[in-house]
Amino acid sequence: MYNELQINDPELYKAVHDEVLRQQHNLELIASENYTSKAVLEALGSVLTNKYAEGYPGKRYYGGCENVDVVENLAIERAKKLFGAEHANVQPHSGTTANISAYLSLIKPGDKVMGLNLDHGGHLSHGHPLNFSGKYFHIVHMNVNKDTELIDYDEMEKLIAKERPNLVMAGASNYSRQWDWARIKKICDVWKCFLITDIAHYAGLVAAGLYPSPVPYADIVTTTTHKTLRGPRGGLILSKACYKAAVNRTVFPGNQGGPLMHVIAAKAVCFREGLSDEFKTYQKQVLANARKLAAELQTLGYRIVSGGTDCHLMCVDLRAKNVTGKEAEVALDKAGITVNKNTIPYDPQKPMITSGIRIGTPAVTTRGFKEAEIVEVAGYIDEAIKHREDEVMLKSIKEKVAALCAKFPMYPGFEK
């Protein structure tokens, strides 16, 4: 598969090859990861990586941009169609850089921003003190309700009325329920603040019409393209037409230099795939698999934060099993199952230990798993956590996991 690398750089080749094998043989349950199509990989590996194209289609600072203009226009038009958006900027290198540009399109450093606390499912770029967002802006954090573990919109409005933020950042990286975007917009209108929604996690489900879309409500919507959306690693900004100039200026020259044209090409491929019927069928199965996994884990005695899921992910509270998120992550890794430790709301443990794990179904669904395989997956998770100190058992689970994965091959031939 990677002939030139294998011959010219065997040391690097070995790491890439080992990663191919890991992705083929392990159960990938990290909620923010997925397997792209070969077409996306081809675009990523194309000669477009060689081209500088600062600016936008038709208005570049370099010659020779006629082909990349076609590529970027395709990506923009497809993104707009996929999400029903008035404007799309496909240049952000990542979700976080999309968020930097989104904030600075609407507000200035020192202004007040309200976002969901990271420990309650938010994201670093929603105001964590160590992130640019927490350093540039005056942050007010909201938490989920302690009893329901849901966003409490009455509390949200009270906090907005008290703090009067200039902007609300709504969205999460670990919240399994639906956001009521229309309600948040109404609150923002009453208290005269901007609304950005970050749908990095939900984007694929939103595109398929299986999760509420914030596009009709938010001033700006940001997302990544590599999670449920199943495209290349990267960011995307959608906005109302009235913010087009501000968003474009803030992305370039505001926050970025040359766009990554090979990644933009891969985004265009992913948006086209997102418009297909096959993609809708896939997203339905992502959702069905997540619901099945949550129900199975509940049957096995695990508490799911907020009682279940309306999307591709769930947060599992491990306290009843007397195990921390860190211990579970390590044991599951040894059993060939990849998850990440995650804080649960009001977690008594530190962020590097945690009381929970976050699990998602996008990648295993791309593999072809349906509910029957998900029941097996839940069993292996439980077995690995129960036998976390038994290396022999963990090895035997790993073999069963590899056998299950072998029935649903990923990237056949890549290992050669």
Residues making contact with ligand DSN (CB under 6 A): 32, 95, 123, 173
Q: Which of 52, 183, 303, 376 is catalytic?
A: 52
User: Shortest approach of ligand DSN to residue 339 CB, angstroms?
Assistant: 11
Residues 3, 394: Cα–Cα separation, whole Å: 35
Q: Which of 80, 186, 233, 240 is catalytic?
A: 233
148 is catalytic: no
390 is catalytic: no
Nearest residue to the partner ligand DSN, using Cβ: 32
54 is catalytic: yes
Mapping DSSP onto H, E and C, the string for the chain reads CCHHHHHHCHHHHHHHHHHHHHHHHCEECCCCCCCCCHHHHHHHCCHHHHCCCCEECCEECCCCCHHHHHHHHHHHHHHHHHHCCCEEECCCCCHHHHHHHHHHHHCCCCCEEEEECHHHCCCHHHCCCCCHHHHHCEEEEECCCCCCCCCCHHHHHHHHHHHCCCEEEEECCCCCCCCCHHHHHHHHHHCCCEEEEECCCCHHHHHCCCCCCCCCCCCEEEEECCCCCCCCCCEEEEECHHHHHHHHHHHHHHHCCCCCHHHHHHHHHHHHHHCCHHHHHHHHHHHHHHHHHHHHHHHCCCEEHHHCCCCCEEEEECHHHCCCHHHHHHHHHHCCEECEEECCCCCCCCCCCCCEEEEECHHHHHHCCCHHHHHHHHHHHHHHHHCCCCHHHHHHHHHHHHHHHHCCCCCCCCCC
β-pair partners for 55:
60
Residue number with CB closer to ligand DSN (17 or 227): 227
Residue number with CB closer to ligand DSN (31 or 251): 31
User: Shortest approach of ligand DSN to residue 172 CB, angstroms?
Assistant: 9
Q: Which of 51, 60, 227, 292 is catalytic?
A: 227
Amino acid at the residue 307:
G
User: Shortest approach of ligand DSN to residue 149 CB, angstroms?
Assistant: 18
Residue number with CB closer to ligand DSN (95 or 362): 95
383 is catalytic: no
Residue number with CB closer to ligand DSN (200 or 210): 200
Residue number with CB closer to ligand DSN (33 or 371): 33
Q: Which of 42, 54, 111, 376 is catalytic?
A: 54
User: Shortest approach of ligand DSN to residue 29 CB, angstroms?
Assistant: 12
User: Shortest approach of ligand DSN to residue 404 CB, angstroms?
Assistant: 24
Residue number with CB closer to ligand DSN (72 or 119): 119
Q: Which of 28, 149, 198, 219 is catalytic?
A: 198
User: Shortest approach of ligand DSN to residue 102 CB, angstroms?
Assistant: 14
Which residues are marked as active site? 52, 54, 198, 224, 227, 233
